[in-house]
Structure 1
């Protein structure tokens, strides 16, 4: 494991929170993600199911977690199933978790090998009334392959058709949107690693450097600090590429006089950072580039000022959009006539600002959490306004990661990452 051990009490607390949302006499079953195949005998790097990790801290394939809070036996209330290491597997892959190591990591006393799962489940499921199963219900998710969770749903409903099946996804939406202090510390570490990577590349950026060379330097800086690398596919977008919101080719040379947009974030212990900064490839912003840059920076600062506990996401978004419209008028990109003639389907600002202001951040870069209700303490959110002027080849997006605190303020987890135009220019020189 590259990251330091996480206190098992985080996972114990998370399981305790889950129990308060369950129907009486309920059984919960959570599976690890699949090892995804490549061609021939290759596999993709394993990425753990974030809900399973949230409740157990176990970072290993073929893991299953069963929770039965109302079980008649104490040893049935929490059961962890892990892959057994044999002599052949140990030669090729090394040892997997021992039962004691898995117990120490998760705080779960009862640990069995995965090959015992079906027989034990058959005993427990006959006593339970409700069965909670997991699916990916993220509003932006597109699942084109059948997951291990989906296969288990089919298997379970076919074998036990008369039980009452429940969705755990809505509960995860509530739980994961509010972070524990241990989670915030892990996100802060991911942000710290991201900051170090960003600072390290500023003096190296110059014309003719290829975007993927910058990606490679960032990857090195992230990995050598205990990260497994990028939390998401990085966007290293120079010139007109900065106006492509999810540009990931990263294969164009950086040209003199243009801007470089960096949307990057390190992963640490499965938790994500999500940073966006824009820098001048020559080391100095032009007058127009700086004008647009400072407009976006003013919107960012305003958004961070008004994003407070108790504010509705709807009011927050409306206020920020009003500020964006003001800045677009100042930049002479839209005028009062454009505002007057806009429709609800095609607002004037959308030509230059096409995405949302904020999203939850945590075990996923676009993490689970309510974005329609009220902002609450211990939410971790991004703030990421942008202005994209395709005809000028100027794309500016600035992004920080913040924690909503209980005292009516916000904690900026990226407060030490350079963001003022003059500061960036100084560091590049």
Structure 2
């Protein structure tokens, strides 16, 4: 069975042709077939087979083929002359034996291609000085009806060119023979080397050529989100926020029931599912920053701390809320919660390009604000552990991180970078009071963290998770 050729031209095509977009000024193929794409099987949704998921022209939800092309062009343009970027796919991970986890593509390969299959490899070769002077090679699995009968469909080599707009496609099994020819012609190779035990890692090392890390170059692109990316994150935040607010309306006896409710609410409302394993921490367990056992109880008189968020179009949101199990804060809970909320609101307001602040500088503002608020609550003059400040003990994590395709997005991209319009970050101050006699008695054992995902704009931040209520009056009014 032939896959459809997407005619990359300005002239009309036959009806039912899958044309994800037209590459402007770079016509490559000038032919088409009348077979409908809706009759074919691909390794991931396309508009013709999944119109309930994708709009015309989109490769993944909200992101068009043209945007993916533009990302590759920008990466190629950032490379030195005649350089090559190599991006291997993620590998299937196994839970035990033959039981595997759902596959998730390596984020940089996903960002640049939208291709969602394992056993794949993208090569982007800069061929000239202009923005569109590059070649895109995609290695992947060829169609195999017998294998696909067992594992489900994959896209194949023709779709690599016609759907994902590769200039050339190759059988991934032939990468050890073909890839060296491409790389030897390059002046410089950029790659984040996979382990030597993998076929690609072995192949690259056998060439005995020096390589440069690719991650910093891709980070520079991924860190500033496009309008389409922000829209996806806003949708993830909107649905996730409403699910968390809905959860606050109900009493919960068991952490696992609240966990399961959020997973269901995210998916039921149109997200692909949870973005990460949530924290659902009743009472004193909220003091453990990444508590994910979620197997204990939520007791009257305590608070529950929930760090959860969903994913839409592979973009995530990261939200934390703390609320009273009974629906009403005790006086001490309200005082500590209000102190953290005041600082959180202040730090969110600093997420604007005109302020010129970095995440590190906002963190220092959070520490100063929390120290000021805690002094008002009687936390001044306390004995600290040797080598630790009071803030090290009560606020042991950073106020925020970048967020996007990953919960902790663009790893290695510094928190000292001044925030610009399009940066998306979390703002999550917290206070975790040890249960010991050094601290005011009525606050001992309490934990409060409040977190929103925020998009930096020129003059005012965009709170991507505003639907998750956080004012004391609003939380208590839910029940």
- State the TM-score, normalized to the length of structure 2: 0.80
Query: Which one of 125, 146, 151 corresponds to residue 183 of structure 2?
Result: 125
Alignment RMSD, CA only? 2.4
Which one has the largest radius of gyration? 2
Q: Does 1:275 align with 2:323?
A: no
- The residue that corresponds to 1:70 in the other structure is 127
Seen in structure 2, the aligned counterparts of structure 1 residues 147 and 155 have a Cα distance that, compared at 3 Å, is closer
167-176 or 97-106: bigger deviation: 97-106
- The residue that corresponds to 1:358 in the other structure is 400
Query: Which one of 89, 92, 99 corresponds to residue 150 of structure 2?
Result: 92
Alpha-carbon distance between aligned partners in 2 of 1:48 and 1:272, rounded to the nearest angstrom: 14
How far did residue 76 of structure 1 move?
A: 7.9
How far did residue 81 of structure 1 move?
A: 1.8
Q: Map Cα deviations across residues 283-306 of structure 1 (whole Å, 9 max, x no partner).
A: 111111011111010000110122
Number of equivalenced pairs: 408
Query: Which one of 239, 251, 258 corresponds to residue 193 of structure 1?
Result: 239
- The residue that corresponds to 2:455 in the other structure is 403
How far did residue 408 of structure 1 move?
A: 2.1
- The residue that corresponds to 1:139 in the other structure is none
Alpha-carbon distance between aligned partners in 1 of 2:69 and 2:297, rounded to the nearest angstrom: 49
Query: Which one of 250, 254, 276 corresponds to residue 294 of structure 2?
Result: 250
- The residue that corresponds to 2:57 in the other structure is none
Alpha-carbon distance between aligned partners in 1 of 2:135 and 2:251, rounded to the nearest angstrom: 55
Q: Is the 8 A contact 2:254 2:297 kept in 1?
A: yes
Q: Map Cα deviations across residues 294-344 of structure 1 (whole Å, 9 max, x no partner).
A: 101000011012232222344322222111110111121233x76xx999x
**Unpaired segments ≥5 residues, structure 2:** 1-44, 55-59, 436-443
How far did residue 229 of structure 1 move?
A: 2.0
What secondary structure is seen at the aligned counterpart in 1 of 2:69?
A: helix
- The residue that corresponds to 2:470 in the other structure is 419
Q: Does 1:183 align with 2:229?
A: yes
Q: Is the 8 A contact 1:133 1:153 kept in 2?
A: no
- The residue that corresponds to 1:231 in the other structure is 275
The structure showing larger relative contact order (alpha-carbon pairs under 8 Å, at least 6 residues apart) is 1
Alpha-carbon distance between aligned partners in 2 of 1:258 and 1:8, rounded to the nearest angstrom: 49
- State the TM-score, normalized to the length of structure 1: 0.88
Q: Is the 8 A contact 2:426 2:452 kept in 1?
A: yes
- The residue that corresponds to 1:140 in the other structure is none
- The residue that corresponds to 2:115 in the other structure is 58
Seen in structure 2, the aligned counterparts of structure 1 residues 76 and 174 have a Cα distance that, compared at 3 Å, is closer
What secondary structure is seen at the aligned counterpart in 1 of 2:274?
A: coil
How far did residue 147 of structure 1 move?
A: 8.3
Seen in structure 2, the aligned counterparts of structure 1 residues 390 and 106 have a Cα distance that, compared at 3 Å, is farther
How far did residue 374 of structure 1 move?
A: 1.4
